[in-house]
Amino acid sequence: QEQLVESGGGSVEAGGSLRLSCAASGYIYRRNCMAWFRQVPGKEREGVATIYSNGGGGSTQYADSVKGRFTISQDNAKNTVYLQMNSLKPEDTAQYYCAAAALVTGCPWSPVAFPYWGQGTQVTVSS
């Protein structure tokens, strides 16, 4: 069964760190585009970070709001994608989702391009 399972969310104070994990099973991990999105109630889901594997390594991209603070990485042996989040701010509070897709030209920011999603994990940052 193909699925994505996130973990690692929680509550931290501003300035703290969390590491989210996304374990992929089935054929999902063969999808070459993995991404993290986040969503707060009443707002659209927004892309946070993506990692694209084209056989020669992984290329990453980040939303401007998290550049320099968040790092996306993957462990192929564990079929897991990570999101290391440092210097967290209250505005990072959201439900975080892992997503996967098989794409040719790289990872887009649009959620509609991703057919596979995890159930989400909550991140709460207090001031």
Q: Is the pLDDT of residue 18 over 80?
A: yes
CA atoms of 2 and 27, how far apart (whole Å): 6
Q: Is the pLDDT of residue 54 over 80?
A: no
Q: Give the chain's end-to-end CA distance (angstroms, integer).
A: 40
pLDDT band at residue 28 using 50, 70 and 90 as cut-offs: low
Q: Are 113 and 101 within 8 A, CB to CB?
A: yes
Q: Which residues of 73-82 are buried (b: 16+ CB within 10 A; e: fewer)?
A: ebeeeebbbb
Percent of the chain with pLDDT over 70: 95
Mean pLDDT of 6-12: 97
Q: At which residue do the structure tokens 């959620």 appear?
A: 111
Q: Is the pLDDT of residue 38 over 70?
A: yes
pLDDT band at residue 1 using 50, 70 and 90 as cut-offs: confident
Q: Is the pLDDT of residue 12 over 70?
A: yes
Mean residue pLDDT of the chain comes to: 93
Who has greater pLDDT, 104 or 99?
Answer: 99
